[in-house]
Amino acid sequence: MMFRMIAIVAALGLALAGSAEAQTPRKGGTIRMTAPYGSSFTSLDIHTTQRAQDEIYAKALHRSLYIWNSAEGKPVPELAKEVVVSGGGLVYTFKLRDDAYFHNGRKMTADDVIWTYNRIMDGTKAYPGARFVRIIEGAAAVEKGQAKEISGLKKIDDFTVEMKLTEKVDPGFYFFTALTSIYPADEAAKDSFIQHPIGLGPFKFVEHVPGSRIVLERWDRFYKPGKPYADKVIVSIMGEAAARDVAFRNKEIDTSVLGPAQYVAYQADPNLKGTIVEVAEVFTRYMGMNPAFKPFADKRVRQAINYAIDTDLIINKLVKGKAYRATSWLPLTSPAYDKTMKPYPFDPAKAKQLLAEAGYPQGFEFEWTTSQNESWGLPIVSAVIPMLDRVGIKAKVKQVETAVLAEVVRTGDYQAFIYSQQSGPDPLAALKCFHSSTPQPACNYMNFKNAEFDKILDEAGQADDAAKRTQLLQKANALLYEEAPVWFFNYNKAVMAVQPWLHGIQLNPTELTHQNAEELWVDETSPAK
Amino acid sequence: MLSFLIRRLLQTIPTVLAVVLLVFVLFSVVPGSIASSMSDDADPHVELRLKQQLGLNDPVYVRFGNYIAKLTTGDFGTSFRTREPVTTMVAKRAWPTLQLIFTAMAFSVLLGVPLGFIAALRPGGLVDSAAMVLAVSGLSIAKFWLGLVLMYLFALKLGWLPSFGYGDGGLKYLLLPAITLGVSPMALFARTTRAAVLEIMTADFVRTARSKGMSETRVVKWHVMRNALVIILTTVGLQFGGLMGQAVVVEKLFSWPGIGSLLVDSVLQRDIPAVQGSILVVVLAFLALNLLIDVLYGVIDPRIRYA
């Protein structure tokens, strides 16, 4: 189902991927990727950083228990050859690969997996991957300092691990990101590890020039026969879109993420049009409304906001078509996306009527906290303000830095804010952010509480039948749409330009820049040696 | 000279302390915390423990005291973000920034000063007008835009130089960012030199020298140049500080691994030890350069004494 959806939203990209499959991958060459998200790599200890930027290199250097398979549209086991589920869906037994070697030549064992998850739960370090490992029984106790080891993890033998979960979820969605990369036990505790990381991935670490690039080279003992194809991967930090544009046109880099303005320019350029790949990423952009601020406590007011804004106009004119209109929370590439859902129409009259019914015939005033982000920040807010003004709602802008916005959102210190939040790939996890048991600082940023929603979602969580689960998730998503805790703005359309000599690009909806590097290869037309 | 040097070095201590204190206080009051930078799902209990471990729950004066104590042993602390010693981080970034700044300065002096001289020797002439148009343009041009134009021209159109990156730190990687950074001071040097030379040309000692029959070449060489150099040197000293501030734009644009981009990244992620370390190094470098300029004054002009 997800594959079909990706095919719809990224026909062009698939055509490119399809042509790549038709050729025989070439061994050798250098892949030159770019890290486009502004600043330097946060750290070479990938457990410490949740930024998409860092995972670009980590996908080549490290491996987790699962991996995202873009063709299948779901996480699949990576470091395990076999996974047996028992205990009513709560116990997972992983038969690990016995041919996975760390870059120091040591074979990975069950001890490494257990050591890694225990490390991530060190409550004194606030490792961001803790949010995923918390689904293992006893992990929270380690985080709180009440236990030394995660009780739900058991070594059966050197290559078998048993994992007891606290709830019936697919652990694949929790253990595929680099935040839960498996480290070599003991070696990773040494100070030198931060300078010279050791992973299980297809490429090993060579060099880090902070603020400029990371260089990796082929790991010959990688467990997938014949892979990786390339000899070397270079990931350059290039936060400036205009500089990336020159470098891409100058054939100095093989991939470049495009912003709205470049998206338009590349589409219009016959030489560059064919380089574009695009995918609906699992991020929803929205304006969150605080129910503690009186007008927003009324559902009709929240719905009125959705009716009052000409969202299509903003997507077309300001975002330059580099987004998909949101129809509730779950994005197009979510396995539970309901394509029968329609977005709120632009209907200011209906908005006025709803406001009058809610007791605000003259409208009201609120403070809107925003960052400067061009796709979901100040420019969007500035365009929306006159639209809201037309129905009597006055918005005052409060501009903050992105880091401050993250804190404002977590602490609930706002009347309204505009943000981009992960809404996938696991629809259950994405919707759980609206469950009343989810604390606001976790991801229930609008402090949403609705008993009926909780009930449906709990039922979905218990459902064994996949179809039934999807049906319940769609029902919960529809209820969320009706309750409108947010203005449903858009789902991100990620766009990347890819040089014609680079093949094997995966249309990864979790983050397009995150490529399983062993699948990539460059043909002989690449100008890089 | 030695006592002058010692006195000047002692004078830097309160300056450095004031800067460290200021940065400390600023980062104690700005919103945003390291915990929210690290994880947008940090359990409040974990956040508390993290802050405790990093010593962030202590009062500002205690933290400041601890920091100063560490500084005296040469320890800049550990980065919240990378978990590396700040000293190592700063050391890695200092050399690329120095490379960039010194090359930019060399470019600007070698081009700007002769340009100003030539312009001043024929005031109102074609060269003078052209040089001053160039100078005004150089001062007003935005670095970001200039950098892009240079990339477009020298990398994309002519294919002479790489458009970005550090490479092996060699000159071909250094040229475009250094020129981008150097154009503005180059323009300033041209203007300053021109103004200085024009002023000195009308000074009494120049008139005296001419009236004594000294050739124009000797007048320019022995009187004008030497006196103008003191003014130019002052401008160079002031420009070093400016270049350090402006380097961040260039470093970001060209993916140059300097201290400027380290500072900005650290500020955005609330990595206080790294911010403090970077600022401290920049301030120390600035003070050292100013000291060097003061010493050079004496070499050029013996009238300046170090009493």
3-class secondary structure, B209: helix
Task: Give one DSSP letter per residue of B41-59, joined into a string.
Answer: T--HHHHHHHHHHHTTTS-
- Residue A254 sits at the chain B interface (C-beta within 8 Å): no
Interchain pair B257, A212: CB under 8 A: yes
Tell me the pairing of strands A160-164 and A91-96.
antiparallel
Cβ neighbours of residue B30 closer than 8 Å, sequence gap 6 or more: none
| The two structure tokens encoding residue A347 | 């209907």
Cβ neighbours of residue A159 closer than 8 Å, sequence gap 6 or more: A95, A96, A97, A98, A109, A110
Phi first, then psi: give them for residue A316, nearest 5 degrees.
-70, -45
Q: Tell me what pLDDT residue A274 has.
A: 95
Look up residue A64 and give its amino acid: S
CA of B276, closest CA in chain A: separation in Å? 17
Cβ neighbours of residue A101 closer than 8 Å, sequence gap 6 or more: A107, A108, A200, A219, A221, A222, A223
3-class secondary structure, B74: coil
Distance from C-alpha of B159 to C-alpha of B162, rounded to nearest angstrom: 8
Closest CA to A494 of A260, A330, A173, A274: A260
Angle at A149 between CA A145 and CA A153, to 5 degrees: 135
Closest CA to A286 of A368, A365, A356: A368
Residue B27 exposed, middle or buried by CB count within 10 Å (0-12, 13-18, 19+)? middle
Distance from C-alpha of B76 to C-alpha of B259, rounded to nearest angstrom: 15
Task: Give one DSSP letter per residue of A479-505, joined into a string.
Answer: HHHHH-SEEEEEEEEEEEEE-TTEE--
b/e sequence A435-455, b meaning 16+ C-beta within 10 Å: beebeebbbbbbbbebeebbe
Residue A341 exposed, middle or buried by CB count within 10 Å (0-12, 13-18, 19+)? middle
Mean pLDDT along residues A104-131 = 94
Cβ neighbours of residue B161 closer than 8 Å, sequence gap 6 or more: B154, B155, B172, B173, B175, B176
Closest CA to A495 of A21, A29, A36: A36
Is the pLDDT at A448 greater than 80? The verdict is yes
| The two structure tokens encoding residue A369 | 């906290």
A194: nearest CA partner in chain B: B84
CB < 8 Å to A401, chain B: 32, 268
- Residue A208 sits at the chain B interface (C-beta within 8 Å): no
Distance from C-alpha of A424 to C-alpha of A43, rounded to nearest angstrom: 25
Segment 74-103 of chain A within 8 Å of chain B by CB: none
Residue A16 pLDDT level (bands cut at 50, 70, 90): very low
Beta carbons of A429 and A169 less than 8 angstroms apart: yes
- pLDDT tens digits, one per residue of A492-515: 999 999 999 999 999 999 999 999
CB < 8 Å to B253, chain A: 240, 243
Segment 227-256 of chain B within 8 Å of chain A by CB: 251-256
Whether the CA torsion A341, A347, A351, A357 is positive or negative: it is negative
Distance from C-alpha of A276 to C-alpha of B208, rounded to nearest angstrom: 73
B34: nearest CA partner in chain A: A403
Cβ neighbours of residue B170 closer than 8 Å, sequence gap 6 or more: none
Closest CA to B116 of B237, B293, B235: B235
More confidently predicted of B58 and A146:
A146
Whether the CA torsion B4, B9, B11, B12 is positive or negative: it is positive
Distance from C-alpha of A47 to C-alpha of A199, rounded to nearest angstrom: 12
Distance from C-alpha of B77 to C-alpha of B64, rounded to nearest angstrom: 12
CB < 8 Å to A123, chain B: 43, 45-46, 49
- pLDDT tens digits, one per residue of A100-109: 999 999 999 9
Mean pLDDT along residues A141-166 = 96
Beta carbons of A33 and A236 less than 8 angstroms apart: yes
How far apart, in Å, are the Cα atoms of A42 and each of A55, A122, A123, A292, B270?
Answer: 10, 19, 20, 36, 12
More confidently predicted of B78 and A367:
A367
Interchain pair B151, A252: CB under 8 A: no
| The two structure tokens encoding residue A266 | 């590349």
Mean pLDDT along residues A153-181 = 96
Distance from C-alpha of B107 to C-alpha of B109, rounded to nearest angstrom: 6
Residues of chain A above pLDDT 90, percent: 85
- Where in A88-200 does DSSP place strands (E)? 91-96, 153-157, 160-164
A247: nearest CA partner in chain B: B163
Q: Tell me what pLDDT residue B145 has.
A: 94
Distance from C-alpha of B296 to C-alpha of B288, rounded to nearest angstrom: 12
Distance from C-alpha of A38 to C-alpha of A53, rounded to nearest angstrom: 8
b/e sequence A247-265, b meaning 16+ C-beta within 10 Å: bbbbbbbbbbbbbbebbee
Interchain pair A123, B164: CB under 8 A: no
Is the pLDDT at A116 greater than 50? The verdict is yes
Beta carbons of B18 and B263 less than 8 angstroms apart: no
Interchain pair B42, A407: CB under 8 A: no
Inter-axis angle of helices B171-201 and B143-150, to 10 degrees?
130
Interface test with A, best of B33, B41, B78, B168 (most A CBs within 10 A): B41
Distance from C-alpha of B113 to C-alpha of B182, rounded to nearest angstrom: 13
Interchain pair B147, A126: CB under 8 A: no
Residue A153 exposed, middle or buried by CB count within 10 Å (0-12, 13-18, 19+)? buried
- pLDDT tens digits, one per residue of A219-263: 999 999 999 999 999 999 999 999 999 999 999 999 999 998 899
pLDDT by residue for chain B (307 residues), tens only, comes to: 777 778 878 888 888 888 888 888 887 777 666 666 666 565 667 777 777 777 778 888 888 888 888 888 888 888 888 888 999 999 999 999 999 999 999 999 999 999 998 898 888 888 889 888 888 888 889 999 999 999 999 999 999 999 999 999 899 999 999 999 999 999 999 999 999 888 888 888 888 888 888 887 888 877 888 888 888 888 888 888 888 888 999 999 999 999 999 998 888 888 888 998 999 888 888 888 888 888 877 777 766 655 5
Q: Tell me what pLDDT residue B252 has.
A: 92
Segment 110-169 of chain A within 8 Å of chain B by CB: 123-128, 130-131, 143-145
B161: nearest CA partner in chain A: A250
Paired with B85 in beta bridges are B78
- Kindly state the DSSP code that residue A274 receives in the 8-state scheme: G
CA of B190, closest CA in chain A: separation in Å? 29
Is the pLDDT at A86 greater than 80? The verdict is yes
Q: Tell me what pLDDT residue B37 has.
A: 65
Interchain pair B38, A213: CB under 8 A: no
How far apart, in Å, are the Cα atoms of B34 and each of A406, B39, B47?
Answer: 11, 9, 9
Look up residue A31 and give its amino acid: I
Q: Tell me what pLDDT residue B134 has.
A: 86
Helices (H), A318-377: 348-357
3-class secondary structure, A202: coil
CA of A63, closest CA in chain B: separation in Å? 20
Helices (H), A310-463: 311-317, 348-357, 378-390, 402-411, 427-432, 451-462
Distance from C-alpha of A281 to C-alpha of B36, rounded to nearest angstrom: 23
- Residue A267 sits at the chain B interface (C-beta within 8 Å): no
Q: Tell me what pLDDT residue B40 has.
A: 59
Question: What is the CB-side half-sphere exposure of residue A487 using CA atoms within 13 A?
Answer: 27
CB < 8 Å to A213, chain B: 165-166, 255
Beta carbons of A249 and A269 less than 8 angstroms apart: no
Residue A9 pLDDT level (bands cut at 50, 70, 90): very low
Distance from C-alpha of B60 to C-alpha of B56, rounded to nearest angstrom: 8
Beta carbons of A502 and A254 less than 8 angstroms apart: yes
Closest CA to A94 of A157, A180, A142, A179: A157
A142: nearest CA partner in chain B: B46
Beta carbons of A41 and A237 less than 8 angstroms apart: yes
Mean pLDDT along residues A185-213 = 94
Q: What torsion, rounded to 10 degrees, do the Cα atoms B223, B229, B230, B234 define?
A: 160
| The two structure tokens encoding residue A101 | 């070697």
Q: Tell me what pLDDT residue A7 has.
A: 40
